[in-house]
Structure 1
Amino acid sequence: MYFSTLMHPCLSIVIPLFNEEESLPELVEWIDRVCSAHSYTYEVIMVDDGSTDRSWSVVRQLSQQYPSVRGIRFQRNYGKSPALYMGFRAAEGDVVITMDADLQDSPDEIPELYDMVKGEEGYDLVSGWKKVRYDNALTKNLPSKLYNAVNRSMTGIKLHDMNCGLKAYKRKVIKSIEVYGEMHRFIPVLAKHAGFKKIGEKVVQHRPRKYGTSKFGWERFINGFLDLLTIQFTSRFGKKPMHFFGVLGAFTFLAGFVFVVMLIIDKLRFGADFGLTNKPAFYIALTSMIMGTLFFLSGFVAELVVRNAADRNHYIVEEETN
């Protein structure tokens, strides 16, 4: 690992990468040119997510050529979220910008993104919006629009392109959230649930891919929807799971109990002519009561897990007074 000689840069640029050896020299040179023109003290943190080409050799060469470049290398491919997590953990700048390594994100966007976070607007997070795209319209553009529409309706965050890799953050944001699994798609959602409400958007340039091929396929949309459900659930009920399982269990058990009472009343009215166990309602009632009990038990088990979790009392403090 190579570390910057800068004590406290004003800007950190985190770049996760996987098999991007051809684009890295051009990308770093472009970033250095832009940052030097604006007199930024900066660091570039390049996280090699287990590349199988010469990417790591290129990162090492760049770190020797540019003192501001730092390199982190995974032993194997873990995914974009773990790469961002490691980059966020290492970042020291007041403003943190993420971008992809494939040159489809333009470093010329850095000054405006920096100003939107550091300037008078003071956004906690700014997400790029690739309004004009050069991807395949059928396999990427249309699914992406549908995907983002679902995200907006479920999360209430009005971003056109939540999955855009080009984003800017206050340092406090990236130090307050944990990106894991494939949750990099929902960093604005994680930030919102952590209490960072000032989320903005900027139209950014989307450049045609110059080298290599895309590393993502159709499965990301399916996985993304499942991850969205997960993050919505854990954000609302992560510290109080019984509030979900208990309510669900109560309604389910109560519905089954009502069915049983109705069947017993009918049995008393019609006597021996009424076959209780021959009625579908009997098995529906029995199943509902069993499911309700299981939901309750799930809630109790989840509460035990939460109460023994190391971060059960982890809260973000904005400021304190004497």
Structure 2
Amino acid sequence: MNLSIVIPLLNEDESLKELHDWIVKVMQANKYSYEIIFIDDGSTDASWDVITKLKEKNPNVRAIRFLKNFGKSQALHAAFKETKGDVIITMDADLQDSPDEIPELYEMIVKDGFDLVSGWKKKRYDSVIRKNLPSKLFNWAARKTSGVELNDFNCGLKSYHKDVVKNVEVYGEMHRYIPVLAKNAGFSKIGEKVVIHQARKYGVSKFGMDRFINGFLDLISIWFLAKFGKRPMHLFGLMGTIMFIVGFLATGLIGAMKLYKLFIGAKAILITENPWFYIALTTMVIGTQLFLAGFIGELVVRNKPHETRYKIKETI
């Protein structure tokens, strides 16, 4: 199979049929073998009914329905496990991503040899204050932190080689950072393509300040996991050891100064009355705790069980 089109959605019943028909038109024009996988992330409108009717008319449609809203990352993770295509295309269900971009995205994977190609909505129709400026700040921070030179990490329109989606685990709000996850997994040929951004035709945007804040928190998480996720002792153990040594040496120095003053007959206060003694002691305690945190982290990494982060209600 040439293509798997993955479409996560939440309350997008008005746009689904139009999007489906547009995708089918592109698939037939290019003679692609394909499947369309809709992931209903706990919609409360008629989205699942629309998908069911599309499935009745088109056997290439597949769908997953969550019990409740688990988030876009969980939706993508569930769909990636089910894809059968050689190339996987992800796109949003709100018609802001154009299916006409699919052939070129497909060719960049198949002919140009990219592992992943991310869309870049260079000209946007979103609110400048509400979304554009936060998005630019967000993308700048992601580039600096990850080393992946993309202009639009959060663009939903992306194409992947099948090996990429089978070897990255998307969770939390990490769908924004799939290119970073792919790089960390060893897929280094990551490209970018300028794509058309269409104004929202139906429904309302799901973007909010909480998603912006969560995005930055996840950026810190992914940076930490990339650097120390498989070796937490390298961070916590090192910091703990340094702090313990500093505290131990400081305590020894305080004791030595006390003994020296007693030896020369100078006036000396009790060690327990010296505030620096408690600072040194606290440093040793924190250092020990950090070292133990690293040790426990190593145990967790080596014994981490597989965790399912979503519950599927039904599939068709």
TM-score norm. by structure 2 comes to: 0.93
Aligned: 1:62 with 2:61: no
Specify the alignment match of 1:239 in structure 2: 230
1-structure distance, mates of 2:177, 2:301: 23
The secondary structure found in structure 1 opposite 2:156 is: coil
Aligned: 1:281 with 2:276: yes
2-structure distance, mates of 1:85, 1:304: 26
Question: Could you report, residue by residue, the CA deviation over 1:36-90 in whole angstroms, capped at 9, with x for unpaired residues?
Answer: 1111111100000010000000000011112211111111111101110111111
Specify the alignment match of 1:168 in structure 2: 159
CA-CA distance at 1:104 after TM superposition: 0.4
1-structure distance, mates of 2:27, 2:287: 59
Task: Give unmatched runs, 5+ long, in structure 1.
Answer: 1-8, 312-322
**AA aligned opposite 2:268:** D
Specify the alignment match of 1:136 in structure 2: 127
Specify the alignment match of 1:316 in structure 2: none
Residue-pair matches, total? 302
Specify the alignment match of 1:225 in structure 2: 216
Give the number of the structure with larger relative contact order, counting CA–CA contacts within 8 Å between residues 6 or more apart.
2
> Quick one: percent identity of the two aligned structures?
59
**AA aligned opposite 1:199:** I
Aligned: 1:91 with 2:75: no
Specify the alignment match of 1:30 in structure 2: 22
1-structure distance, mates of 2:34, 2:72: 22
The secondary structure found in structure 1 opposite 2:44 is: coil
Aligned: 1:189 with 2:184: no
- The correspondence for 1:296, drawn from 278, 291, 294, is 291
Aligned: 1:53 with 2:45: yes
Question: Could you report, residue by residue, the CA deviation over 1:296-319 in whole angstroms, capped at 9, with x for unpaired residues?
Answer: 1112222222232357xxxxxxxx
**AA aligned opposite 2:19:** L
1-structure distance, mates of 2:207, 2:129: 15
The secondary structure found in structure 1 opposite 2:240 is: helix
Could you tell which deviates more after superposition, 252-261 or 287-296? 252-261
2-structure distance, mates of 1:240, 1:224: 24
8 Å CA contact 1:266–1:274 kept in 2: the answer is no
**AA aligned opposite 1:159:** L
Question: Could you report, residue by residue, the CA deviation over 1:178-227 in whole angstroms, capped at 9, with x for unpaired residues?
Answer: 11121111101110010000000001111000001011201112111111
Question: Could you report, residue by residue, the CA deviation over 1:283-303 in whole angstroms, capped at 9, with x for unpaired residues?
Answer: 211111000101111122222
1-structure distance, mates of 2:26, 2:108: 17
**AA aligned opposite 2:260:** R
1-structure distance, mates of 2:156, 2:7: 9
The secondary structure found in structure 1 opposite 2:166 is: helix
- The correspondence for 2:260, drawn from 263, 269, 293, is 269
Aligned: 1:110 with 2:102: yes
**AA aligned opposite 2:287:** G
Question: Could you report, residue by residue, the CA deviation over 1:218-255 in whole angstroms, capped at 9, with x for unpaired residues?
Answer: 11121111111212222332222212211011111112
The secondary structure found in structure 1 opposite 2:204 is: coil
The secondary structure found in structure 1 opposite 2:4 is: strand
Could you tell which deviates more after superposition, 238-247 or 67-76? 238-247
Aligned: 1:123 with 2:114: yes
Task: Give unmatched runs, 5+ long, in structure 2.
Answer: 307-316
2-structure distance, mates of 1:235, 1:150: 15
8 Å CA contact 1:105–1:207 kept in 2: the answer is yes
1-structure distance, mates of 2:199, 2:305: 45
Matches within 5 A, 1:238-257: 238-257=229-248
List, as ranges, runs of 4+ consecutive aligned residues in structure 1 with deviation greater than 6 Å. none
2-structure distance, mates of 1:133, 1:279: 62
Question: Could you report, residue by residue, the CA deviation over 1:244-285 in whole angstroms, capped at 9, with x for unpaired residues?
Answer: 211011111112122212212221233342342333322211
2-structure distance, mates of 1:40, 1:57: 27
2-structure distance, mates of 1:310, 1:209: 41
Specify the alignment match of 2:312 in structure 1: none
Specify the alignment match of 2:4 in structure 1: 12
The secondary structure found in structure 1 opposite 2:6 is: strand
TM-score norm. by structure 1 comes to: 0.91
